[in-house]
Amino acid sequence: MKMSALTGLALLLGFGVLLSACGSNVGRPLGGDAPSHHLENGFRNPPNSPKRDIPFTRRLKFFSQAIWRNAFSKAPSIPTDHAIMRDAAKAQLAAMGDEDFVSWIGHATFLVRLDGVNVLTDPVFSRRASPVSFTGPARLVPPGLFIEDLPPIDVVVISHAHYDHLDTATLDKLPNKERITAIVPLGLGKYFEGYGDVREVDWYDEVTLPAANGDFKLTAYPAVHWSNRSLFDINRTLWMSYGFSAGGRAVFHTGDTETHPSLFSEIGDHMAKNHGGCDLGLMSIGAYAPRDFMRGAHMDPEGGVDVGRQLGCKRMVPMHWGTFILSFEPFDEPRQRFVEAAGNQALVMKIGETLTMDAISR
CATH of domain 86-361: 3.60.15.10
Per-residue confidence (pLDDT) for residue 71, from 0 to 100: 64
Domain ranges of the chain: 86-361
**What are the φ/ψ torsions at residue 344 (nearest 5 degrees)?**
-75, 0
> DSSP assignment of 244-277, as one string?
EEETTEEEEE--S----SSHHHHHHHHHHHHHSS
pLDDT value of residue 23: 41
CB atoms closer than 10 angstroms to residue 213: 10
Strand partners, 201: 185
pLDDT tens digits, residue range 116-171?
999 999 999 999 999 988 888 899 999 999 999 999 999 999 999 999 999 999 99
* 16 — pLDDT class (breaks 50, 70, 90): low
Q: In this structure, which amino acid lies at residue 229?
A: R
**Percentage of the chain exceeding pLDDT 90:** 78
At 21 the pLDDT is 41
Per residue in 42-70, is it b (16+ CB within 10 Å) or e — as a string? bbbbbeebbebebeeeeeeebbeebbeeb
- Write out pLDDT tens, residues 225-280: 999 999 899 999 999 999 999 999 999 999 999 999 999 999 999 999 999 999 99
> Model confidence over 82-109: pLDDT tens digits?
999 999 999 999 999 999 999 999 999 9
Taking the C-alpha atoms of residue 127 and residue 318, their distance in angstroms, rounded to an integer, is: 21
Residue 347: strand, helix, or coil: coil
Residue 199 carries which DSSP code?
E
